[in-house]
Amino acid sequence: MDTAAIFAALDLSPALLSGGPLAVRSPIDGAAIAQVSITEATEMPQVIARAQAAFRVWRQVPAPRRGELVRLLGEELRAAKAALGALVTLEVGKITSEGLGEVQEMIDICDFAVGLSRQLYGLTIASERPGHRMMETWHPMGPCAVITAFNFPVAVWSWNAALALVCGDPVIWKPSEKTPLTALATMNIFARALARFGDAPEGLAQLVVGGPEIGAALVASPGVPIVSATGSTRMGRVVGPRVAERFGRSILELGGNNAMIVAPSADLDMAVRAIVFSAVGTAGQRCTSLRRLIAHNAIRADLVARLGKAYASLPVGDPRAATTLVGPLIDHAARDQMLAALEQARAEGGTVHGGRTVTQGVPQGGAYVEPAVVEMPAQSAIVREETFAPILYVMGYETLDEAIALQNDVPQGLSSCIFTLNLREAETFLSAAGSDCGIANVNIGPSGAEIGGAFGGEKETGGGRESGSDAWKAYMRRATNTVNYSAALPLAQGVRFDI
Ligand code: NAD
pLDDT in tens, the chain (499 residues): 899 999 999 999 999 999 999 999 999 999 999 999 999 999 999 999 999 999 999 999 999 999 999 999 999 999 999 999 999 999 999 999 999 999 999 999 999 999 999 999 999 999 999 999 999 999 999 999 999 999 999 999 999 999 999 999 999 999 999 999 999 999 999 999 999 999 999 999 999 999 999 999 999 999 999 999 999 999 999 999 999 999 999 999 999 999 999 999 999 999 999 999 999 999 999 999 999 999 999 999 999 999 999 999 899 999 999 999 999 999 999 999 999 999 999 999 999 999 999 999 999 999 999 999 999 999 999 999 999 999 999 999 999 999 999 999 999 999 999 999 999 999 999 999 999 999 999 999 999 899 999 999 999 999 999 999 999 999 999 999 999 999 999 999 999 999 8
Ligand 1 centre to CA of 101 (Å) is 21
Index of the ligand 1 atom closest to the CA of residue 330 = 25
Amino acid at 375: E
* 255 touches ligand 1 (CB under 6 Å): yes
Sheet containing 226-230: which strands, arranged edge to edge?
A: 205-207, 171-174, 144-147, 226-230, 249-253
* 467 touches ligand 1 (CB under 6 Å): no
* 257 touches ligand 1 (CB under 6 Å): no
The rounded Cα 274 to chain-centroid distance in angstroms is 20
* 461 touches ligand 1 (CB under 6 Å): yes
* 463 touches ligand 1 (CB under 6 Å): no
Protein residue with its CA nearest to atom 35 in ligand 1: 231
Index of the ligand 1 atom closest to the CA of residue 231 = 30
* 174 touches ligand 1 (CB under 6 Å): yes
CA atoms of 467 and 499, how far apart (whole Å): 52
Is 128 part of the annotated catalytic residue set? no
* Candidate of 91, 152, 176 to mutate for ligand 1, largest count of ligand atoms within 8 Å of Cβ: 176
Ligand 1 centre to CA of 354 (Å) is 28
* 102 touches ligand 1 (CB under 6 Å): no
* Candidate of 230, 412, 467 to mutate for ligand 1, largest count of ligand atoms within 8 Å of Cβ: 230
Index of the ligand 1 atom closest to the CA of residue 176 = 9
Q: 10 Å Cβ neighbour count for 236?
A: 22
CA atoms of 158 and 244, how far apart (whole Å): 24
Ligand 1 centre to CA of 254 (Å) is 7
* 388 touches ligand 1 (CB under 6 Å): yes
Q: 10 Å Cβ neighbour count for 419?
A: 28
Q: Which of 341, 272, 327 is nearest to 303 (CA)?
A: 272
* 284 touches ligand 1 (CB under 6 Å): no
Four-residue CA torsion sign, 221, 224, 226, 231: negative
CA atoms of 260 and 96, how far apart (whole Å): 26
Is 144 part of the annotated catalytic residue set? no
**Per annotation, catalytic residue among 110, 144, 167, 287:** 287
pLDDT given at position 371: 98
Q: Alpha helix (H) ranges present in 416-494?
A: 423-430
CA atoms of 13 and 109, how far apart (whole Å): 28
Q: 10 Å Cβ neighbour count for 43?
A: 14
* 220 touches ligand 1 (CB under 6 Å): no
* Candidate of 147, 329, 466 to mutate for ligand 1, largest count of ligand atoms within 8 Å of Cβ: 147
Enter the DSSP assignment of 442: E
CA atoms of 473 and 41, how far apart (whole Å): 31
Measured at the alpha carbon of residue 296, what is the angle toward residues 291 and 301, in degrees to the nearest 5?
85
Which H or E element spans position 397?
strand 391-397
Which H or E element spans position 241?
helix 233-245
Q: 10 Å Cβ neighbour count for 171?
A: 26
β-strands 290-296, 258-262 pairing: parallel
CA atoms of 156 and 311, how far apart (whole Å): 29
Protein residue with its CA nearest to atom 13 in ligand 1: 212
pLDDT given at position 245: 98
Protein residue with its CA nearest to atom 22 in ligand 1: 212
CA atoms of 103 and 97, how far apart (whole Å): 10
Ligand 1 centre to CA of 380 (Å) is 25
Note whether 69 and 170 are within 8 A (CB): no
* 148 touches ligand 1 (CB under 6 Å): yes
β-strands 22-25, 415-419 pairing: unpaired
* 264 touches ligand 1 (CB under 6 Å): no
DSSP-derived secondary structure for 226-238: EEEEES-HHHHHH
Enter the DSSP assignment of 282: G
pLDDT given at position 375: 98
CA atoms of 464 and 252, how far apart (whole Å): 5
β-strands 32-36, 124-125 pairing: unpaired
Ligand 1 centre to CA of 21 (Å) is 21
Q: Which residues contact 251 (CB under 8 A, 6 or more apart)?
A: 160, 226, 227, 228, 229, 456, 464, 465, 466, 474
Q: Alpha helix (H) ranges present in 370-459?
A: 400-408, 423-430
Using N-to-C axis directions, what is the helix angle for 44-58 and 212-220, rounded to 10°?
A: 50
Ligand 1 centre to CA of 185 (Å) is 20
**Per annotation, catalytic residue among 91, 102, 253, 375:** 253
Note whether 383 and 292 are within 8 A (CB): yes
